[in-house]
Amino acid sequence: MHVEFPILRQLENDRPEHYLQALQDFAPENTDLVLCILTNSRKDRYDALKKFLCLDNPIPSQMVLTKTVAATRRNQLVSVATKIGIQINAKLGGEIWGVHIPTKTLMVIGMDSYHDSKRRGASVGAFVASTNPSLTKFYSRVVYQRTAQELIDGLTRCMTEALREYHRNNDCLPEKIVIYRDGVGDGQLSAVAEHELPQIIETFPKISEGYEPKLAVVVVKKRGNTRFFQQDGRNVHNPPPGTVIDHTVTNADWYDFYLISQCARQGTIAPTHYNVIWDRTNFKVDHMQRLTFKLCHLYYNWPGTIRVPAVCQYAHKLAFLVGQSLHQQFSERLANKLFYLQIRWQTTDVPPREEPAADVSTNVTPTKQSNLMEFFDTSDNVREAKVIHGRWWYLDELRLKSNGDLHKLWYVLLKERNRLLTMEEEYRYQYELFPNPERIDKVEESMRNIMTVVRERDIAYNLLETGRTGEPTPQIRETSFGLLRYYQPKERILPFYKNRYYQLLWGKRRAAPWTNIFKRRYNEFQEHQEHQETNRIREIVANVIQKYPHLRNEEERVMEEYKKRFDFEQYHIPKRLARRPKLRAHETVWNEQEFIDHGDLTDSNSNDYERLQQEKASRMRRKKK
């Protein structure tokens, strides 16, 4: 790539309108690239420049921050300049590197979707297809659709334009097409086959009569909890790049496999799951896996392998740029260029403070704040933050610390947890996998251990001062059905019916008569079930004694053994329930008058309440005599 001496424009300030005014002088016909030096990562300025250079004046552009090129050492400056040069070369259509692809008439396609941040009624579907035999040049389009829709509509037009571009570059149409679909889950596999696949197949006859290429559709899933390890003696390592797992842990009914294509410097490596839902290419399984791994080498924004095939990552970058900055279809002039590649720095929605640029590679929040809001980091601070591995704080270590040290450590861990959660949310928003989820677990485990130590000390202080632990004592309470349950009091907010204003307004309400009737009926049913169980065990014991007469004198012991075998405890009716009217098994209707006559229905709203209570007391006195 040969670069002439550039035309320089120096601006008075960094306002977006000054950038746009300077860019008016450059036309797409005589300008190959626009490089803008930005003082900071303001989102409004970045979006304005990208809109102008992708819609009104379509020219490939490169945005560079001043802190990126302000390297203090010469070797750092050379590294930064090399990376920027590689990205510029890719945006101008250059082939930076490649891999050997045996199949010459092959087209690979990557598809992904992203939800527009500004247009509430639309989502972006990105379509990126290769246009040369070495799979190093690409044609890109986007499709707008309904909100939160993962399935892409309008694939017929995208496929038609991609095939025409392939024919324009190679004077032939591809014989085999492999589509890598990203952004769908296991529950949408059938929907992809029924909704997106027909749109692609019906395109082929429109291109040329009798044209039927061999098609394969592969669903790419990056989000998963599956992890693989390689054991080397007593040590456990991450598997090397290129490791394929296609048995034992895969689905026996699917054509799927796991591929580890990236190299992880720290933490556990996350494999990518590939599910082939349609295959007419006659590729062997090994050839499909090898092709997928080779495509992971062709992403020009990273000098190595990535988690997914390059066309999937290009589709994700395109959908992200359109959904975040452009919010509409870009110019056709840029369809053959990778104009959407960008350096990994996150834009911010608000102008920065008049402070020197902070180093975001540290472990703490770079922005100085004096209140508790410093425990909630913003996305511009944590997107590129470093995550350090370690272990959690053990209980024995925390028990040796003072209360003041525990208090300080608690807020340090709280700040670290909020920072990691913010980072995880940012990675999820970028459709990327958070590299260190185990770090959050370690921080939360340390916080739980601190709470345990503080509770132990609180119990010890209460024992020394009052002789009690201070913990709420457990109670045995009666449920609404009359059952006895073990209840452990917990610290919680008082319910609304315990509020004194609620009690003043509504008073202490009594249970209705039918509630007591239902409770009694439920208890009767439980007694009936237990009585049946007792009779069944007695029949079994009687049969055993009839078969073995020598056990007749040990009938009680045999009965007890069978009770233990069936895990049965003999039920004793409490004295307070001994006089209840019994419900026979064939009865289904309750006679309320029977309860009233017996004196068990305590309706405080009844006029005869006092009379019934007096009659009940007199009966009790007669029984005692």
Task: Give the residue numbers annotated as catalytic, written as ranges.
Answer: 112, 150, 182, 316
Using a 10 angstrom Cβ sphere, with 0-12 exposed, 13-18 middle and 19 or more buried, the burial of residue 284 is: exposed
125: alpha, beta or left, given left = phi > 0 and alpha = psi -120 to 50?
beta
Are the beta carbons of 119 and 327 closer than 8 angstroms? yes
Whole-angstrom Cα distance, residue 411 to residue 417?
A: 10
Instruction: Answer for the pair 4, 32: CB distance below 8 angstroms, yes or no.
Output: no
Among the listed residues 346, 343, 383, 430, the one whose alpha carbon sits nearest the alpha carbon of residue 61: 343
Helix H or strand E encompassing 181: strand 176-182
- Spatial separation of the C-alpha atoms in residues 244 and 257, rounded to whole Å: 7
Contact 49, 78 (CB under 8 A): no
Determine the 3-state secondary structure of 368 from DSSP: coil
Encoded tokens for 453: 């130590």
CA atoms of 103 and 436, how far apart (whole Å):
38
- Confirm if 77 and 51 have CB atoms less than 8 A apart: no
Query: What distance in Å separates the CA atoms of residue 71 and residue 81, rounded to the nearest whole number?
Result: 10
Radius of gyration of the chain (CA): 37
Residue 346 near residue 384, CB atoms below 8 Å: yes
